[in-house]
Amino acid sequence: MAGQPEGALRSRRQPAGARSGVNPAFDYDLDFSAIDFRKQPERYRVGKGEQGVLLVEPYKSEILPHWRFRTPDIARESADAIFAMFLAYKEQADFVGMDMARKFLQMGFTRARRYANHKSGRKWSPDRTEVLPPELDPVKAESARIFYERYRQAREDGEYQRMKREHEARSRESKVES
């Protein structure tokens, strides 16, 4: 299309990283029930956003029990606990654990934000043809803000960013070799 940068009309359904090559796609074809990602971190792909947050073990089982956002007090306790896990994984140089903690913090933000905007948690009409009007909930909005602050801290952590670059570089190298 005239005036559009080359490739600007690419499908939004492309795998994460397909556009830039920076972020290898999350591999949903793995047998997640058979993989311990702590023992095989090389099989982990960061993907985009929260991809895989409820699949990657043993991290899902370690972090999920702490994930709550019903009230700001509960959200603060939850976000602090998950961020403490992020720091513990960092201390162990466990990038996959750090990234999974980051994903749970991001998911706390996005889910609390969804409930802040839509009391039922449903954004779409039952036939999925229109977005429902917002019903703003300031309590859930505060829960979302709390999670967002911890998510931002994790995402912007210098050691996390360095380890992420290294992990993704190894992922690209192993993909080229296969």
Q: Residue 122 has what pLDDT?
A: 87
Reported as a pLDDT band with limits 50, 70 and 90, residue 175 is low
pLDDT digits (tens, 9 = 90+) for 24-77: 588 899 999 999 999 999 999 999 999 999 999 999 999 999 999 999 999 999
Phi, psi of 164 (to 5 degrees): -65, -45
List all residues 6 or more positions away from 125 whose beta carbon is below 8 Å from its beta carbon.
131, 132
What's the chain's average pLDDT?
87
pLDDT digits (tens, 9 = 90+) for 143-166: 999 999 999 999 999 999 999 999
Q: Residue 91 has what pLDDT?
A: 98
Domains of the chain by residue range: 55-162
Q: Indicate whether 14 pLDDT > 50.
A: no
Q: Residue 1 has what pLDDT?
A: 41
Q: Indicate whether 11 pLDDT > 70.
A: no
Q: Indicate whether 136 pLDDT > 80.
A: yes
pLDDT digits (tens, 9 = 90+) for 91-113: 999 999 999 999 999 999 999 99
List all residues 6 or more positions away from 118 whose beta carbon is below 8 Å from its beta carbon.
132, 134, 135
Rounded-to-integer distance, Cα 121 and Cα 85, Å: 27
- Residue 44's closest CA among 106, 91, 98, 111? 98
Cβ atoms < 10 Å from Cβ of 127: 6
Rounded-to-integer distance, Cα 101 and Cα 87, Å: 9
Q: State the distance between the two ends of the chain, measured CA to CA, in whole angstroms.
A: 36
3-state secondary structure of 22: coil
Amino acid at 51: Q
CA dihedral 22, 145, 131, 7 (to 10 degrees): -20
